[in-house]
Amino acid sequence: MTKEPNDQVNSLISTVLTSNVSKKTQHRIPVNIQNISADSLSSRRIVLLDMNNRQQVNDLLQKIDSMIEQNGGGHYSNQMYEDALTFRREEEEQRQREEEQRKQQEEKKVQEEIERVRKETEERIRAEMKAQAESQNMASEPIELAALGRPLFPGMLYDCRKDSFIPGVTLWDKKSLREDLDSRLQLMTDLKFSSSDSLSSKASLLDVNASLKASFLGGLVEVGGSAKYLHNTKSSNQQSRVTMHYSETSKFEQLTMTQLGKITYPQVFDQKTATHVVTAVLYGAQAFMVFDRTFAEDESKEELEGELNIMVKKIPKLSIEGKGAVKMTGEDNKKAENITCIFHGDVHLEQNPTTYMEALEVYKKLPTLLKEKPQNAVPIKVWLYPLHLLDTKAAQLRREISACLISKTEDIMERLKKVERTCNDLSRRTELNVFSDIKTRLSSFQDSFSIYKMVLQKELARVLPAIRGGGMEEQSLEDTLKIHSSSPFNADLLNQWLDDAKSELYLLNNHRKSLNVINIEDSDGLNAILLDPNICVILCLTFTSLQYKDPYLSTLTEFLKSDKFKELHGGENPLSTKSDVRKWFKDPDVIAKMRENLSLFKRFSEANKNEKSIRFITSAIPDPSIPGSSIYLYENGKLTDTKFQPVSRPPAPVVKDVLMQSVSLKLQKSPTGETVKYRVEYMQVKADSGAEKQWLVKDTADEDFKLTGLKPGKQYLIRYRIVGKVGVSETSETLSPAPASTTYEQFGRSPRDFEAESTNEENTSRD
């Protein structure tokens, strides 16, 4: 037997046995190696060889050498060597296959990513080409546009880039416009209802297209008449709204080809101030009556909205008799009293309606107002003709904003309006007049929000015309919206802050409701009470954590000063919009302590409500060392304790003994505060009229107290209070121990024994 093969075998076996071979590949170890390993290790009870244990390795090698020598050496060593080579070759082939599969998968992912980018690029190119084609077509086609109460008449110039008309400048003289004007009747009446307050719903009623809606969002369009309805938004989330829209058209006017062929003032084209000219106008009148009803937080919004919807839709069906009396049920009359009305119209009224009943009367008059004075009809819709089709030197509408981007812009502005409504609701809460710290923070929030909203609208007013005129790409508007979304003024962060403010106010308001008979005082009110010489003691449930620096408000202020805000384009917002500071009203330990203080204060105030020398109030005084709330004690105008613990209701008295004219009691100290003494209260129970109203009182400093002077055989009610440093606690549970005359047998004595004892008690009492 040669040494070299044996060494190779030994090395291979040692390697195989000491490796943590997985079950997945274990079956690939040659059978004879497995047998050797099993035979070798069974006697030693070793399952897996530890290469760090040299003794185990040596024992195994000796065992293998012995086995090879006993079996002639060559048979096992040669076969094992071949099997080992086969094993290694198969392992290498498996590794290569796995590596090839990995490369194929990576290549597949790369190809998929390339294909995805290619498709996206093709789609973007197609979309851009389509948008460009649409822009070119749009530039050559007339535009139908809502007038929105603006004086748009035939021949007037219009700039579609800014959605504004050009007064005082025309292509034709007044005589040409007057003589060659085609006019015809176009009568139509329509009535619609809407319960939505969104801009999309309002725009739909006024037939405002997406482009004009975007201009309105940017503040480019100054509306008038009935179109002022676009500005009428709900000021509160506690407000139900239904709108009735009445519209009527009367005539249609258009320019003839005579004007188009004879331009009186061609120099207008060189000015490039307008892109279109008004060639046709539809006249008529519109009226919006907006019906609102406010509701409390505990009322059903859905139910009230349903009732309001029914009441408004009844208006066209209601009949007016004789002198204007309206047929309505008593229930409907009651509902009508809670409904307000705002009128926006193109007709002149002596007085705008403000109530449901007034709106009903106005509605009945609407059909006759325009018929009686048709000259009062106003432009409802206009048609615009591109100027560059008359002269190539004229300014053009190069492109229009995509509907998707306009929708994003609208969504952002709508969400900001909702933030504004929530802020308005909070600012109306009466608690803010007392909790000035919260009022200050809310005011800071409103100021920053108003500034941001105004500047955002100005940015829209700058970007929209530039894109339409070809001076900017749509990406400019996209960048503006992106920086808004990444700014601290995005609606999610604004609403989160408002939700926290609501939680803080609701917590304080719940305390106020629990203490409804106790006044909330601001600093001036507290000082006035402290100066009152008739009030010796003041107990104040003090809110200590209302004054703090809000990091989010600081972030808003910093953002308004930043260059990113001034530019409103490109890049990410450099300011942090998140804060890891947990607000005091979100700390469960603080809330638990506040509940405890509230309970102690409320019960103690009820127990001492008739004590004229003690005044109970609530107020807000900052004290960072006592988060949440604390009970402040003022004595003779001075603050003596910022963590005062009033005495509270003691456990029931324990009856130790009952005699003919006395009861022995075990009294216990107050669970809270300092117990100065005990006040035992008792009264005799009358069989005919129950308990007497007047309780008799005895004070004692002893826990073991004997109540004497009772009438033999009479039933008594007994309770006690704790007298503290200030005031008294609530009474304990009232007991009614059985009179001594009913307990003779229980004590094993006769009535004479109790009478004698009673005499001794009286003598002792006299002594």
DSSP codes, 99-121:
HHHHHHHHHHHHHHHHHHHHHHH
**pLDDT (tens digit per residue) in 439-491:** 999 999 999 999 999 999 999 999 999 999 999 999 999 999 999 999 999 99
Residues 379 and 350 grouped into a single domain: yes
> What does the H/E/C string look like for 338-397?
CCEEEEEECCCCCCCCCEHHHHHHHHHHHHHHHHHCHHHCEEEEEEEEEHHHCCCCCCCC
Domain contains 129: no
pLDDT band at 358 (very low <50, low <70, confident <90, very high): very high
User: Are 425 and 553 found together in one domain?
Assistant: yes
Question: Within a domain: residue 406?
Answer: no
Task: Kindly state whether residues 304 and 431 are assigned to the same domain.
Answer: no
User: Number of folded domains in the chain?
Assistant: 4
Residue 571's CB is within 10 A of a number of other CB atoms, namely 12
Could you tell me if 205 and 198 are in contact, meaning their C-beta atoms sit under 8 angstroms apart? no
Taking CA 715 as the corner, what is the angle to CA 714 and CA 717, rounded to the nearest 5 degrees? 140
User: How confident is the model at residue 265, as a pLDDT?
Assistant: 85
CB 286 within 8 A of CB 346: yes
Q: Same domain for 430 and 548?
A: yes
349, 367, 397: which is the final residue of a domain? Answer: 397
Q: How many CB atoms lie within 10 A of CB 118?
A: 10
Q: Between the CA of residue 633 and those of 115, 515, 536, 623, what are the distances in Å?
A: 76, 18, 11, 15
Q: Mean of the per-residue pLDDT values for the chain?
A: 84
Same domain, residue pair 532 and 636: yes
Question: Best-predicted range by mean pLDDT among 269-273, 410-414, 567-571?
Answer: 410-414
pLDDT at 192 over 90: yes
Residue ranges making up the domain that contains 543? 411-641
Name the more confident of 574 and 716. 716
Backbone phi, psi, residue 77, to 5°: -65, -45
Supply the pLDDT for residue 693: 67
Q: In this model, does residue 301 exceed pLDDT 70?
A: yes
Please report, for the chain, how many H helices and E strands are present, in that order. Answer: 23, 21
The pLDDT, as a whole number, for residue 23 is: 43
Average pLDDT over residues 44-71: 60
Surface-to-core class of residue 72, CB atoms within 10 Å of its CB (0-12 exposed, 13-18 middle, 19+ buried): exposed
Does one domain contain both 393 and 524?
no
Whether the full predicted model's pTM is greater than 0.75, yes or no, is no
- For 572-646, list the strands marked E by DSSP: 614-620, 629-635, 638-641
- Answer yes or no: is pLDDT of 366 > 70: yes
> 3-class DSSP state for residue 763?
helix
**Residue pLDDT, tens place only, 203-224:** 999 999 999 999 999 999 999 9
In a domain, 360, yes or no: yes
Tell which wins on pLDDT, 295 or 42. Answer: 295
495 shares a domain with 422: yes
H or E element: which one contains 278?
strand 276-294
Q: 3-state DSSP call for residue 515?
A: coil
State which H helix or E strand residue 684 sits in. Answer: strand 677-686
The tokens for 114 are: 């390339």
Give the end of a domain, one of 612, 641, 670.
641
Is 694 in the same domain as 609? no
The DSSP letter of residue 653 is P
627 and 670 both lie in a single domain: no
- Res 70 pLDDT > 70: no
